[in-house]
Amino acid sequence: MSGTSLDGIDSVLVDLGRPEPIQLANYYLPFDDTLKNSLLALHQPGHNELHLAQAVGNQLARMYAQSIFPLLSQTDIAAKQVCAIGCHGQTIRHRPEHGYSLQIGNAALLAELTGITVVSDFRSRDIAAGGQGAPLVPAFHDHLLRHPGIHRVIVNIGGIGNLTNLAPGRPASGFDCGPGNMLMDAWCAKHTGKPYDDNGAWAASGQVLPELLERMLGEPFFSLTPPKSSGRDLFNTAWLLGRLTGHEAAVDVQATLLELTCATIAQAIRQHCAGAREIYLCGGGAHNQALVNRLSALLADCSIRSTGALGIDGDLMESTAFAWLAQQALHGKPANLPLVTGARHPCILGAIYRSL
């Protein structure tokens, strides 16, 4: 999995032959600045973008492959014993309103380089059925983390924040809430040179700017009724700069961005997950103590913990989910949740590039 945070590749080797997935090994391969900047550029129209997208997609395939072999070397499992690689690819455009979501990564090349069957392109089939193609991980949350008697909400805080509502006796629902770490990371990198605000310490040293927060919360996306999804196509640096007067202190903008992430998550839970008792966090934002503290204050009547408390490493949640989604594809089983994505019906997701 390489997501909207554009930090690198999370690879996990998962045994799905048991009632609960067993994470056998994991490996992280970071992106360098050149690749990250190339991916950022591809989020917007530009010169020769078709060629650049294909070239960067090939580069990503080689990096995905480079992450597989160190992963397997941690175990006595050979490539030929692996059923499949579930590879989401790197999203460079997410425009379901226009009927597409584009992920690059050249799954055919990845299969050739590894000798392992690859399942990719998980979003297109759902979009073809009228859905958003996202979020897809709530189906895995529903499969694995539902409790028969406790109302749980799983909140992923990656580049984008999204939630899964698991109310006993009701179908799972979920949607993207808004920016997770994306805007905070970009602002932090611009003004401190660091890729992220460690533990939210910089944000905690600033003051929330109420007028700026109000302008941000005026974004129409936040008031849309689910199903809804988003990404860098909306929440990018230009979006942020368009809401600044230019007189704000950088540290206060960071504090306000953290408040925006927390406020939109809390608002989504209050509005769409009434009665929730337990909230479990995953993704990079779960490591931001200032963010966790603020969410705990806004949702004081709920317990807030990491998904690690349920036995799933929050940093590996999405990569594990795509292993499960690949298994669903190989078994010919639907893996989308129409209530989440808005698709007209359940769909078998993914294109399969089989290895001999």
The amino acid present at 86, given as its one-letter code, is G
Q: Alpha-carbon distance 244 to 197, whole Å?
A: 20
- Confirm whether residue 244 is marked as ligand binding: no
CA pair distance 104, 98, nearest whole angstrom: 18
8 is in an annotated binding site: yes
Distance CA 259, CA 270 (A): 16
CA 273 from centroid of its chain's CA atoms: 20
User: What is the rounded distance in angstroms from the CA atom of residue 169 to the CA atom of residue 167?
Assistant: 6
Please tell me whether 178 is known to bind a ligand: no
Q: Using DSSP, state whether 310 is helix, strand or coil.
A: helix
CA atoms of 220 and 236, how far apart (whole Å): 15
User: Nearest-CA neighbor of 1 among 116, 105, 150?
Assistant: 105
Q: From CA 66, how far away is CA 275, in angstroms rounded? A: 45
Q: Which residues contact 162 (CB under 8 A, 6 or more apart)?
A: 135, 137, 138, 155, 156, 174, 175, 176, 177, 180, 229
Q: Where are the beta strands (DSSP E) in 72-213?
A: 85-86, 90-95, 100-104, 118-120, 152-157, 160-166, 173-179
Q: Is 10 annotated as a binding residue?
A: yes
CB 181 within 8 A of CB 285: yes
Q: Please tell me whether 5 is known to bind a ligand.
A: yes
**For residues 96 and 248, what is the distance between their CA atoms, to the nearest angstrom?**
35
Q: Do the annotations mark residue 7 as ligand-binding?
A: yes
Binding-site sequence positions: 3-10
Binding-site sequence positions for ATP: 3-10
